[in-house]
Every structure is written in structure tokens, then in C-alpha cells.
Amino acid sequence: MLADRDRSKVAGRRAHLLGVARTIFAERGYQATTMDDVARAAGFTKPILYQYFDSKAALYREIVADVAERLLARMAEAVATSESPRERLELALRAYFVTVVEETDAFRILFIHHHDGDTVRVLRRLERGLVSFLEPYINAEISDEHRRQVAGGVVGMAEGVATTWLVEQEGRGRPAPAPGEADRLAARAATLAWSGLRAVHEE
């Protein structure tokens, strides 16, 4: 069995490789990035990289899974102390945009670059997770199917706002986000969401 020191070394190296890969994927896109690129940028040989990730797809999936896990955990923590569905939705959106603004590389991978095959399935799982998270906070007398579709609409709207902001940041040379940027994005998204939700009713 690995000693605690060895486990810590393995975990640290894995986290380093993920961080380097996230930056390169964000800059070049999935298709243009190679395992050689990641290994070289991380300061390791490719065989060492393959000890941790058996393919580029596996490395990509872990990056997306890590982002998704931390995003959903942050959203869950944000709504934990609130009982109002509206406030919970607003707090969840704020947590979402705080994560987008703080981790632009990860979200450029998700929303800016082209996806196909296996990477599309990874992205769809994240979107389904967000829909499932928001669904209970759609406070309207509608069927479960309708509620899921409305939650999907809110997720799509938030993704659209995030993508537009990321593209604009890209066009400006990716400057540091302005102070309060996440709050502004969340407020705009929440206003749009509640304007639409007020009109939702059973058909």
C-alpha cells in the first residue's frame, strides 16, 4: 500500500497535470491538444502522464467531472441556509456565475470549444445535473415534466449568458474580470429567469 507521503505525492502530481491540461485545453481546444503538449507543459514525460490518464478523452472527462462536481457543491452550499424557492434560485445562479468568473479556463472548455462524441456526452451529463439541481426551485403549479423543461430553460439561459460573457472576454484579450462581475451576471440572469417564470402556468 502507498504510504501517506506517497499518496500525497500522487494526488499532488495528478492535480498539477489536471491544472496544466485545463489551461492548454482552454487555449487550444480539445482537438488541437495532444498528450505530448500536456506532458511537455507539465514537465513530465508522456509515459508518466499515461500512468495517470489512459487517454486524452479520459483526461478531458476528469477535468469536466471535476468542474461539475465543484460547481454543484458550491451551488448546494449557497442554497443550504435559504428556504425561499426564489432566493434559492438566485443564490444558485450567483454561485454558478462566481464559478464561471473564477474559473474561466474550465468554462471556456465547456462552452467555447467544439465538442463531439464522448466530450458531448460529458457536457450533457453536466447539464442534466444542473437541471436536476434547479428543478425543485421552480415554484409553479405545473407538471413534473413541465417543471423539468422550465429548469432546462433556466440552465440554457444561464449557459447563454456565461458563453456571451466568455466570448466578450476573449475578444478583449481575456482581462481580469471586473470587481463584482459575477454578481452583475447573476442579477441579470435572475431578472430574466423570474420575468419568464412569472408567466409559467399549467397548460
Q: Which residues contact 167 (CB under 8 A, 6 or more apart)?
A: 112
Which three three-digit cell numbers place residue 117? 462524441
The predicted structure's pLDDT at residue 128: 92
The predicted structure's pLDDT at residue 183: 95
pLDDT tens, residue by residue, 94-130 = 999 999 999 999 888 888 877 767 677 878 888 899 9
**How far are the Cα atoms of 74, 107, 173, 174 from residue 177, in angstroms, in the given order?**
20, 14, 11, 8
Q: What is the pTM of this model?
A: 0.85
Q: Please give the helix or strand (H or E) that residue 195 lies within, else none.
A: helix 181-197
Any idea where the domains of the chain sit in the sequence? 1-54, 56-197
Domain at 56-197: CATH code: 1.10.357.10
Query: Is residue 27 classed exposed, middle or buried when 0-12, 13-18 and 19+ CB atoms within 10 A define those classes?
Result: middle
Q: Which fold has domain 1-54?
A: Arc Repressor Mutant, subunit A (1.10.10)
CA atoms within 13 Å, Cβ hemisphere of 105: 14
